[in-house]
Structure 1
Amino acid sequence: MRATVLRRSLLALFATAVAFGAMTQAQADTLRIGYQKYGTLVLLKARGTLEKRLAAQGVDVKWTEFPGGPQLLEGLNVGSIDFGVTGETPPVFAQAAGADLLYVASEPPAPTSEAILVPKDSPIKSVQDLKGKKVALNKGSNVHYLLVRALAEAGLKYTDIQTVYLAPADARAAFERGSLDAWVIWDPYQAAAEKQLQARTLRDGTGIVDNNQFYLATRPYAEAHPQVISALVDEVRSVGEWSRAHPDEVTAQVAPLLGLPADITEVSVKRQGYGAQLISPATVAAQQKIADTFYDLKLIPKPLDIASVVWKAPASVAKAP
């Protein structure tokens, strides 16, 4: 009797182990990518070249859309995705919150692709005029740093304004209602507000922020699958270089995905940076400055070391085609 019970227990344990192994294998064979409605990853998804390339490695690709960088990084943090793209600030907040992430690559700067907007008939003429005013932004997004730098340039403190944290769709609605004095936002929402609402640009990122786009991965995935990450970066770079040379074709492809007219989409497309590269020392230094700034403002709870969370491509895959 005892032998029978023991045998059944062992069989059950073996079955559980097999099931767990199968689940782990399934996860390992699926690359889960988080993307936003706009950017190079949208084009890569539409082209389908990544799926074809990774199929040779036995890897499937699953895509999940997020409304903004902070939400995408939360997905990365909780393990619902393995890879994604955001602006400069979200990974700083995510790292400060303990996310086990790695910077993998970045796009060239695109400082005009984010801005502080005011209503067309607003009496506000300069960033200095924002003192005491309601300014909306998506907390922890790339425009968070733009706002900080623009205020400092104008001689204002971050506490001199009334920050209102809203996701893009909610901020757009409040901006249209006249409930806000200013809105800090990125493309394509920025271009849409400029065209459809005749919103005025109070200050874009020129001269004060780079507005890099970063590709990030969870540390466990990047370290376990360097060949996949290398292939992914190469595909992102390829579609980016093609996009830079074919803005009209990109506009025609992206406009229906965004649900925006071609003229608005074209503005966004031409303001974007293209041509992803692995993280350079200069990029690390720029990102470290952002992290230090947010720590000094007590917007994150601890100092960060950006260099410690940069992916180092193994020599065997660093120059993979």
Structure 2
Amino acid sequence: MKNYLVSGLAAVILTAITQPALAAEQPETVNIGYQKANIFALLKYRGTLDDEFKKQGVQVRWVEFPAGPQMLEGLNVGSIDLAATGDAPPAFAQAARADLVYLGHSPANPKTEAIVVPQDSAIKSVADLKGKRVALNKGSDVNYLLIAALEKAGLSYKDITPVYLPPADARAAFQRGSVDAWVIWDPYLAEVETNAKARQVQNAEGLVPHYTFYLASRKFAEAYPQTAEKVLNELGALSEWANQNPDETAKILSGSTGLPQPIWQRAIARMPFGAQRMTPGVFKQQQTLADKFSQIGLLPVKVEVSSASWSLDKK
């Protein structure tokens, strides 16, 4: 009888000790940054992550941002815990001392960004961009594509006149002819090809891999590693669904962005979704990007990309 009492008391004590510890492993709220056109928007509107976390007593709060740099600023100041951006914004965020970590990445998507010109433009190759005005979003993935394309053509960044504009303003400038070329990503690429008959001069194939990175603040990832891993796993499951259901995916993203469904169908046809853990090879590619931005002076300091690594095994 005494042994049963001791066992029962031990169980009560163990429960009292472990329950707060387990509770501490899950936040009350997960704050996720998203853009209308990225994978987190798809996750938001499908609702699967909200449903899954609701069962665990965790609320998901979605915070919209116009672009990756602003989103990572939000990550840095603590207004969001998780984000998804392209290649370049994390390097710029690290240069600004943002304490972020790379959780994972998408498959390479080199066909989803390109340098485009008007259909009747005399520009036929990247070499023809010498002395021309080229619109792009500063510090974005396409900034890296432009640098790599110019170098391959024997030109430097100083050989063109960069015109730094966000996508909406760049689209207007492209339409009225105040820039000679535009470096842009999907779905804006698909839109300008469809509606303005823009012609691709060069996409990222053979130049840069172009990933989407899944990021977290280090504070959040280390405090709630199982939650961060759960989000990454949900992105993987969502990606499988999206790759198998491109029309439904296009419909959801059309509703999110206001772009017609055929525009999204065109973009999705060259946009494999996925969520993979980080590897040394991908970190090396990202370091090459950061070094190139430092070399041409767009990054004020050298960035050690691997300092933002994080192991999901640290639980």
Structure 2 partner of 1:205: 204
Q: What's the secondary structure of 2:206's corresponding residue?
A: coil
AA partner of residue 268 (structure 2): V
How does 1:49-198 map onto structure 2 within 5 Å?
A: 49-198=48-197
Q: Are 1:29 and 2:28 matched, yes or no?
A: yes
Alpha-carbon displacement from aligned partner over 1:205-237 (angstroms, at most 9, x marks no partner): 011011100011111111111111011000000
Q: Report the alpha carbon displacement of residue 28 of structure 1 after superposing the two structures with TM.
A: 4.3
TM-score under structure 1 length normalisation: 0.88
Q: Report the alpha carbon displacement of residue 56 of structure 1 after superposing the two structures with TM.
A: 3.4
Structure 1 partner of 2:47: 48
- Give the Cα–Cα distance (whole angstroms) in 2 for the partners of residues 282 and 83 of structure 1: 23
Moved more, 203-212 or 74-83: 74-83
- Give the Cα–Cα distance (whole angstroms) in 1 for the partners of residues 279 and 151 of structure 2: 27
Structure 2 partner of 1:289: 288
Q: Which runs of 4+ in 1 moved over 4 A?
A: none
- Give the Cα–Cα distance (whole angstroms) in 2 for the partners of residues 308 and 131 of structure 1: 37
Structure 1 partner of 2:19: none
Q: Report the alpha carbon displacement of residue 259 of structure 1 after superposing the two structures with TM.
A: 1.3
Q: Report the alpha carbon displacement of residue 314 of structure 1 after superposing the two structures with TM.
A: 2.3
How does 1:241-260 map onto structure 2 within 5 Å?
A: 241-260=240-259
Moved more, 57-66 or 207-216: 57-66
How does 1:270-281 map onto structure 2 within 5 Å?
A: 270-281=269-280
- Give the Cα–Cα distance (whole angstroms) in 1 for the partners of residues 35 and 255 of structure 2: 15
Alpha-carbon displacement from aligned partner over 1:34-70 (angstroms, at most 9, x marks no partner): 1111132122111111112222332211111222111
Q: Report the alpha carbon displacement of residue 252 of structure 1 after superposing the two structures with TM.
A: 2.2
AA partner of residue 244 (structure 1): N
- Give the Cα–Cα distance (whole angstroms) in 1 for the partners of residues 251 and 295 of structure 2: 44
8 Å Cα contact 1:87/1:212 also seen in 2 = yes
Q: Report the alpha carbon displacement of residue 315 of structure 1 after superposing the two structures with TM.
A: 5.5
- Give the Cα–Cα distance (whole angstroms) in 1 for the partners of residues 226 and 151 of structure 2: 43
8 Å Cα contact 2:39/2:84 also seen in 1 = no
Q: What's the secondary structure of 2:312's corresponding residue?
A: coil
Q: Report the alpha carbon displacement of residue 273 of structure 1 after superposing the two structures with TM.
A: 2.7
Q: What's the secondary structure of 1:50's corresponding residue?
A: helix
Alpha-carbon displacement from aligned partner over 1:14-40 (angstroms, at most 9, x marks no partner): xxxxxxxxxxx9x94211111111132
Q: What's the secondary structure of 2:116's corresponding residue?
A: strand
8 Å Cα contact 2:225/2:314 also seen in 1 = no
8 Å Cα contact 1:54/1:228 also seen in 2 = no
- Give the Cα–Cα distance (whole angstroms) in 2 for the partners of residues 284 and 36 of structure 1: 24
Q: Report the alpha carbon displacement of residue 270 of structure 1 after superposing the two structures with TM.
A: 1.7
TM-score under structure 2 length normalisation: 0.89
Alpha-carbon displacement from aligned partner over 1:68-112 (angstroms, at most 9, x marks no partner): 111211221222211111100010011011111111110000101
Structure 1 partner of 2:225: 226
Q: What's the secondary structure of 2:248's corresponding residue?
A: helix
Change (3 A) 1:220 1:315: closer
Structure 1 partner of 2:310: 311
- Give the Cα–Cα distance (whole angstroms) in 2 for the partners of residues 188 and 70 of structure 1: 18
- Give the Cα–Cα distance (whole angstroms) in 2 for the partners of residues 75 and 176 of structure 1: 32
Q: What's the secondary structure of 2:297's corresponding residue?
A: coil
Structure 2 partner of 1:237: 236
Q: What's the secondary structure of 2:269's corresponding residue?
A: helix
Structure 2 partner of 1:11: none
Q: What's the secondary structure of 1:125's corresponding residue?
A: coil
Structure 2 segments unaligned to the other structure (5+ residues) = 1-23
AA partner of residue 270 (structure 1): A
Percent of residue pairs bearing the same amino acid type:
51
Q: CA RMSD in A?
A: 1.5
- Give the Cα–Cα distance (whole angstroms) in 1 for the partners of residues 170 and 86 of structure 2: 18
AA partner of residue 273 (structure 1): P
Q: What's the secondary structure of 2:172's corresponding residue?
A: helix
- Give the Cα–Cα distance (whole angstroms) in 2 for the partners of residues 62 and 100 of structure 1: 21
AA partner of residue 149 (structure 1): A
Corresponding residue pairs, total? 291
8 Å Cα contact 2:36/2:253 also seen in 1 = no
Structure 2 partner of 1:19: none
Q: What's the secondary structure of 1:271's corresponding residue?
A: coil
